[in-house]
Amino acid sequence: MNASRLFAPWCSVLLLIGVVASAEEISVSFNQITPIPDNSGASSALVELEVPASKLVRTVTGLRLSVQLDHPWVGDLSVVLESPDGAAQAVLFNRTGLVAAGFPGPFGCGGDDVDATFQDDATLSVNEVCSTTIVPVLAGQLRPEAPLAGLYGLEPSGLWKLRLSDMQSGDSGTLRSVTLVVVVEPDCDGDGVPDECACPGDLDGDGTVGGPDLSIMLSSWGSDGPADLDGDNIVSGSDLAALLSTWGLCD
124-125/138-143 β-pairing: parallel
Question: Quick check: 54 pLDDT over 80?
Answer: no
Question: Quick check: 57 pLDDT over 80?
Answer: no
Torsion of CA 61, 50, 93, 140, to 10 degrees: 70
Domains along the chain with CATH numbers: 24-186 (2.60.120.260), 198-251 (1.10.1330.10)
For residue 25, is it left (φ>0), alpha (ψ between -120 and 50) or beta? beta
52-56, 140-144, 156-160: which range is least confident on average? 52-56
Question: How many angstroms from the chain centroid is the CA of residue 140?
Answer: 18
Contact 240, 16 (CB under 8 A): yes
Q: What is the pLDDT of residue 193?
A: 74
Please give the mean pLDDT across all residues of the chain. 83
Q: What is the pLDDT of residue 19?
A: 33
Q: What is the pLDDT of residue 138?
A: 94
- The model's pLDDT over 98-114, given as tens digits with 9 standing for 90+, comes to 655 445 556 788 889 99
Q: What is the pLDDT of residue 246?
A: 83
Question: Quick check: 11 pLDDT over 70?
Answer: no
pLDDT band at 3 (very low <50, low <70, confident <90, very high): very low
Question: Quick check: 21 pLDDT over 70?
Answer: no
- The model's pLDDT over 166-204, given as tens digits with 9 standing for 90+, comes to 988 888 999 999 999 999 987 665 677 776 666 778 888
Point out which residues pair with 175 in neighbouring strands. Answer: 34, 69
